[in-house]
């Protein structure tokens, strides 16, 4: 957990300029937030809190939680969140049934215990309370993985779970769930620009280079294997984003 926190901590300052995926995904949750009750909203993995001006529309108390002190400091500087928690989403330091809405965008995929996160979401929600959660699922970074494989190496980047498995975890925790999926593609001039994208979102703890491998030759093989994916817009990198929304039954 601490390496994830420190990786995101380093990214906190430059995050807002570069985090295009986070921005688009969070904005795409707005239609799902229209139905939530106005009350206490908890943002799990709030990052720098750039979305809080939007979230404040849907609540009168905004509680923000993150494992990165730097991210939380950025959130605090916005002066929108009414309660800040330096904590993990697997152990939320709030009382049972104290929250009307749980919001969490692109945090869950970094958790090593997503089932525990869903159990905590269930615990803290009031009966009838709502949640909107986004996360990355299988099929994300597909071009990246395949290029490494075509080059003859195992991909060093994170693999994401199947959509059905994530939905099942939420249901097993007792939540009523609806799911939607959307893909987002970004385009880059070369593989080095692809690597920089990983760093910019604070996810550079994901080894871009296979462990123990070094040297130009392997990168050249990877770069060569990525070329067949190139489009007129550049080298694509695609994320598959799962949107889960629903409620804790009364
Ligand atoms: C990709 S950022 C997304 C931030 C924000 N929700 C957004 O959409 O811009 C993921 C955030 O989750 C935090 N995070 C990662 N794992 C966490 C965990 N287990 N508990 C709480 N926060 C976590 C990171 O520190 C980071 O701020």
**Ligand 1 centroid, distance to 128 Cα (angstroms):** 25
Instruction: State which of 7, 47, 50 you would mutate to test the pocket of ligand 1, scoring each by most atoms of that ligand within 8 A of its C-beta.
Output: 47
Residue 209 maps to a domain: no
Per-residue pLDDT of the chain (250 residues; tens, 9 = 90+): 466 676 666 656 555 545 888 999 999 999 999 888 889 999 999 999 999 999 998 899 999 999 999 999 999 999 999 999 999 999 999 999 999 999 999 999 989 899 999 999 999 999 999 999 999 999 998 999 999 999 988 887 777 899 999 999 999 999 999 999 999 999 999 998 887 776 655 454 454 455 545 567 888 899 999 999 999 999 999 999 999 999 999 9
Q: Which domain holds residue 135?
A: 2-140+159-187+239-247
Residue 125 maps to a domain: yes
Answer for the pair 36, 130: CB distance below 8 angstroms, yes or no. Answer: yes
Residue 225 maps to a domain: no
Rounded distance between C-alpha atoms, residue 193 and residue 106, angstroms: 22
Rounded distance between C-alpha atoms, residue 96 and residue 123, angstroms: 5
Residue 60 maps to a domain: yes
Residue 231 maps to a domain: no
Q: Atom 9, ligand 1: which residue's CA is nearest? A: 22
Residue 121 maps to a domain: yes
Residue 99 maps to a domain: yes
Stated as kind and residue range, the H or E segment containing 168 is helix 163-172
pTM for this entry? 0.90
- The β-bridge partners of 237 are 186
Which residues lie with the beta carbon below 6 Å from any ligand 1 atom? Answer: 4-5, 8, 19, 22, 26, 45-47, 65-68, 71, 88-90, 105-107, 110-111, 201
Q: How many domains does the chain have?
A: 1
Residue 163 maps to a domain: yes
* CATH number for position 71: 3.40.50.150
Answer for the pair 47, 21: CB distance below 8 angstroms, yes or no. Answer: no
């Amino acid at each position: 957990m601490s390496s994830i926190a420190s990786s995101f901590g380093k990214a906190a300052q430059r995050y807002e300029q570069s985090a295009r995926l986070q921005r688009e995904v969070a904005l795409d949750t707005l239609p799902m937030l229209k139905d939530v009750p106005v009350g206490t909203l908890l943002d799990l993995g709030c990052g720098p809190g750039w979305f809080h001006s939007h979230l404040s529309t849907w609540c009168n108390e905004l509680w923000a939680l993150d494992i990165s002190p730097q991210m939380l400091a950025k959130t605090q500087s916005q002066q929108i969140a009414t309660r800040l928690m330096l904590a993990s989403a697997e152990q939320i330091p709030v009382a049972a049934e104290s929250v009307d809405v749980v919001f969490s965008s692109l945090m869950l995929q970094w958790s090593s215990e997503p089932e525990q996160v869903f159990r905590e979401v269930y615990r803290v929600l009031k009966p009838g309370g709502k949640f909107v959660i986004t996360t990355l699922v299988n099929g994300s970074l597909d071009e990246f993985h395949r290029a490494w494989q075509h080059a003859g190496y195992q991909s060093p980047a994170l693999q994401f779970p199947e959509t059905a498995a994530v939905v099942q975890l939420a249901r097993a925790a007792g939540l009523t769930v609806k799911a939607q999926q959307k893909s987002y593609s970004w385009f880059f001039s070369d593989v080095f620009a692809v690597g920089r994208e990983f760093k910019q979102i604070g996810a550079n703890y994901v080894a871009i280079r296979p462990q123990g491998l070094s040297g130009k030759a392997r990168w050249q093989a990877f770069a060569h294997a990525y070329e067949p994916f190139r489009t007129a817009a550049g080298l694509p990198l695609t994320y598959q984003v799962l949107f889960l929304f629903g409620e804790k039954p009364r």
